[in-house]
Amino acid sequence: MARKTITDDLKDDLFEPLEDALARVRPVLEMAEIAHILSVSNGVAEVAGFTDLRADELLVFAGDVLGIASSISAGRAGVIILGPTEGLRPGDPVRRTGRVVDVPVGAGLIGRVVDGLGRPLDGGDAVEVEERLPIERLAPPIMHRAPVQVPLQTGIKAVDAAIPIGRGQRELILGDRQTGKTAIAVDTILNQADSGVLSIYCAIGQRASAVARVIQSLREGGAMDRTIVVVASGEDAPGLQFAAPYAATSMAEHFMAKGRDVLIVYDDLTRHARAYRELSLLLRRPPGREAYPGDIFYIHSRLLERATQLREDHGGGSLTALPVVETQAQNISAYIPTNLISITDGQIYLSPSLFEKGHLPAIDIGTSVSRVGGKVQLPAFRAVAGNLRLMYAQFEELETFARFGTQLDAETRRKLTRGLRVREVLKQREHDHQPVPEQIAALMAATEGLFDDLEPDDVAEAEKTVRKAVRSEVPDICDRISAGEKLDDTDRKALIEALQDALSGAPPTEGDDGDA
């Protein structure tokens, strides 16, 4: 009897945990429609076997690789793969999900670096999901939109004075490679420290090292705690590069619907167009101009039309878009740049010739334009910089004629002298963000002729003196400028006198003593 008892006890000890585990496990019947891969290449796959597949539906391949149903025909479908294709083989099963591609949205994304599907890339914990939104969404209807009237200050004098940007605007940044396009976009993000604007930087097809430098600049500038970085690098699948800007826009729209002001940078849409061209050719769609598919205009228009200023009864939020596009050999009339110029509300053009001359930022004021214009400038800024573009254009034309060595009259020499000083004032170092009152003071000093007696090389130091003086001598005027009040004649006179007093202590330059 003792032996039997021991055996029974041993049996209970061995099998009771197994019986408990079996009791917790219940078979689940999962219904799914399964198809199989016919062929797979770098970025796309052809599948067959689905009887009821929807356009843009999310599919799951082996290894949890995702795909988007794109080209659907009888019995077959072309699928854009959102991940590596090395592990996929013909004959592997493909499963429907019954939903379109969506991404997590909400405050949990702020300060994070994620990929085009919202998955973290910064080594942190999984993103806390408030809700999920489809990456493809309809743009707000016209009746939900309000006029663009509130300025989005970039801290860059050439932009804020001559090419002002408003919240809800779409302003294109274009130029040849290595001319400072990303620097202007990043500086705009860094300048939003006190504006309450949330920023999203979407890197499309960039090198990992270039993205890392941008992230480092944002961290050093203290902007990562109010920025979301969405990355689809050049090493990622072309499907992820195609989906990334739409995903970033859905993340931005979540905050816009809650009344927040959001700034989004697409860097850059040239690579986005190339990724879509690659996918379209692999899916055997008919090529058009420059081998781009026929809907290349539509992929960017439906993206950028989602940027807007909402009316107060629809949340009052805004989404400002700064798309970046790369030109080749200064050809702004190429296919993709002209498409984007026609979609956006203006463009900031960076000239390689100005860059080579050391005029940084290399913004060509004559070619650049903001179709919103002075409507989004503060009244004081508009009063000072209202005729800046015209004056600068006249100066550049006179400068061209002066190279022929013709004899110039006194008025022409005065315009050339002043134009050279204005050009020096418009130069600005990277990450040197200037508040609006300081910008107004520097531009007023240049346009009113306070720098005319200085050598061009001395203008930068004199500008620092002017900026320091306006902060210390007339703080009340600075506060009224920042509050959006107009400057009357008394304020303007007081401001000019303060600038003159600040500059009077500067040592005289050659020609100032009348001996010249």
* Domain CATH for 73: 2.40.30.20
Whether residue 241 is found in the same domain as residue 92: no
Whether residue 349 is found in the same domain as residue 415: no
Give the span between the Cα atoms of 234 and 434, in whole angstroms.
34
Q: What is the pLDDT of residue 1?
A: 45
Give the span between the Cα atoms of 471 and 477, in whole angstroms.
9
Q: What is the pLDDT tens value at each position of the chain, 516 positions in all?
A: 444 455 666 556 667 776 777 676 666 655 668 899 999 998 999 999 988 889 899 999 998 999 999 989 888 999 999 999 888 999 999 999 989 999 999 999 999 999 999 999 998 888 888 899 999 999 999 999 999 999 999 999 999 999 999 999 999 999 999 999 999 999 999 999 989 999 999 999 999 999 999 999 999 999 999 999 999 999 999 999 999 999 999 999 999 999 999 999 999 999 999 999 999 999 999 999 999 999 999 999 999 999 999 999 999 999 999 999 999 999 999 999 999 999 999 999 999 999 999 999 999 998 999 998 888 998 988 888 888 888 888 898 888 888 776 677 888 888 899 999 999 999 999 999 999 999 999 999 999 899 999 999 999 999 999 999 999 999 999 999 988 888 888 989 999 999 999 998 644 444 344 333
Whether residue 41 is found in the same domain as residue 97: yes
Whether residue 461 is found in the same domain as residue 339: no
Q: What is the pLDDT of residue 126?
A: 87
Give the span between the Cα atoms of 93 and 62, in whole angstroms.
7
- Residue where a domain stops, chosen among 376, 410, 431: 376
> pLDDT tens digit string along 330-350?
999 999 999 999 999 999 999
DSSP lists the bridge partners of residue 441 as none
Q: What is the pLDDT of residue 38?
A: 95
Q: What is the pLDDT of residue 509?
A: 41
Token pair 């910008």 is at which residue?
Answer: 439
- Structural domain contains residue 281: yes
Whether residue 204 is found in the same domain as residue 309: yes
Give the span between the Cα atoms of 129 and 138, in whole angstroms.
22
Whether residue 329 is found in the same domain as residue 257: yes
- Residue where a domain stops, chosen among 350, 376, 402: 376
- Structural domain contains residue 122: no
* pTM as predicted: 0.89
Give the span between the Cα atoms of 449 and 446, in whole angstroms.
5
Whether residue 39 is found in the same domain as residue 99: yes
How does strand 57-60 pair with strand 172-175?
unpaired
Contacts of 103 (CB under 8 A, 6+ apart): 116, 117, 118, 132, 133, 135, 247, 250, 251
- Structural domain contains residue 119: no
Number of structural domains found in the chain: 3
**Is residue 371 annotated as part of the catalytic site, yes or no?**
yes
Q: What is the CATH number of the domain that holds 269?
A: 3.40.50.300
Closest CA to 223 of 189, 252, 253: 189
Q: Which structure tokens are listed for 320?
A: 């400002």
- Structural domain contains residue 277: yes
Contacts of 282 (CB under 8 A, 6+ apart): 41, 42, 43, 44
- Structural domain contains residue 510: no
Whether residue 435 is found in the same domain as residue 488: yes
Q: What is the pLDDT of residue 10?
A: 59
Give the span between the Cα atoms of 167 and 321, in whole angstroms.
9
Cβ neighbours, 10 Å, residue 134: 16
Whether residue 394 is found in the same domain as residue 458: yes
Q: What is the pLDDT of residue 508?
A: 41
DSSP 33-100: -EEEEEEE-SSEEEEE--SSPPTTEEEE-GGG-EEEEEEEETTEEEEEESS--TT--TT-EEEEEEEE
377 Cα distance to chain centroid = 21
Q: Which structure tokens are listed for 203?
A: 């890197």
- Residue where a domain stops, chosen among 88, 103, 118: 103
Q: What is the pLDDT of residue 230?
A: 97
- What b/e readout covers 360-379, taking b as 16+ CB neighbours within 10 angstroms? bbbbbbeebbbebbeebbbe
Q: What is the pLDDT of residue 390?
A: 86
Whether residue 203 is found in the same domain as residue 64: no
CA angle 165/170/172 to nearest 5° reads: 90
Q: What is the CATH number of the domain that holds 495?
A: 1.20.150.20
Q: What is the pLDDT of residue 434?
A: 93
**495 contacts 475 by C-beta, under 8 angstroms:** no
Q: Write down the catalytic residue from 371, 413, 471, 480.
A: 371
Q: What is the pLDDT of residue 510?
A: 42
Domain that holds residue 405: 383-504
- At position 248, the amino acid (one-letter code) is A
- Structural domain contains residue 129: no
Whether residue 168 is found in the same domain as residue 91: no
Give the span between the Cα atoms of 458 and 491, in whole angstroms.
27
Whether residue 81 is found in the same domain as residue 153: no
- Structural domain contains residue 16: no
- Structural domain contains residue 139: no
